[in-house]
């Protein structure tokens, strides 16, 4: 499906394939900068959330010797138990405060 869109930079009409990252045929500027910025912000937020999760929990590396993995697994179990207790507390506080 082909459409055309007026370039926000130079004001000329340019071919547009409904893709927000399409660029103007005349000045090479992005035809839909608002959507592109929104998509980038969403992507960055998702990456931040992924990073936060991997930092919070111990990463178990399969190349490590079995005892290291064993201890890490115990530590990870404690971390998950601790995280559940914390979230239970937060839930209780929210319940009591409300």
Q: How far is the CB of 16 from Zn ion (least distance, A)?
A: 11
Residues near Zn ion, by CB under 5 A = 7, 9-10, 24, 26-27
CB proximity list for 73: less than 8 A, separation 6 or greater: 60
26 or 73: whose CB is closer to Zn ion?
A: 26
* Closer to Zn ion by Cβ: residue 16 or 24: 24
Nearest distance from residue 27's CB to Zn ion, in Å?
Answer: 3
Q: Rounded to 5 degrees, what angle do the CA atoms 58, 62, 67 make?
A: 75
The residue among 10 and 80 lying less far from Zn ion, judged by its C-beta, is 10
The least CB distance from residue 8 to Zn ion, in Å, is 8
Contacts for 22 with CB less than 8 Å, ≥ 6 apart: 5, 14, 15, 16, 30, 31, 32
Q: Distance between CA 14 and CA 85 in Å, rounded?
A: 57
């Amino acid at each position: 499906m082909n459409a055309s869109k007026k370039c926000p930079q130079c004001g000329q009409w340019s071919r547009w394939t409904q893709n927000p990252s399409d660029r103007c045929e005349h000045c090479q500027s992005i035809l839909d900068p608002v959507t592109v910025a929104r998509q980038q912000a969403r992507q960055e937020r998702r990456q931040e959330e992924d990073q936060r999760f991997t930092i919070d929990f111990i990463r178990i590396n399969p190349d490590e010797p079995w005892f290291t993995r064993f201890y890490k697994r115990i530590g990870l179990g404690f971390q998950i138990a601790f995280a559940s207790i914390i979230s239970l507390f937060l839930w209780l506080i929210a319940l009591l405060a409300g």
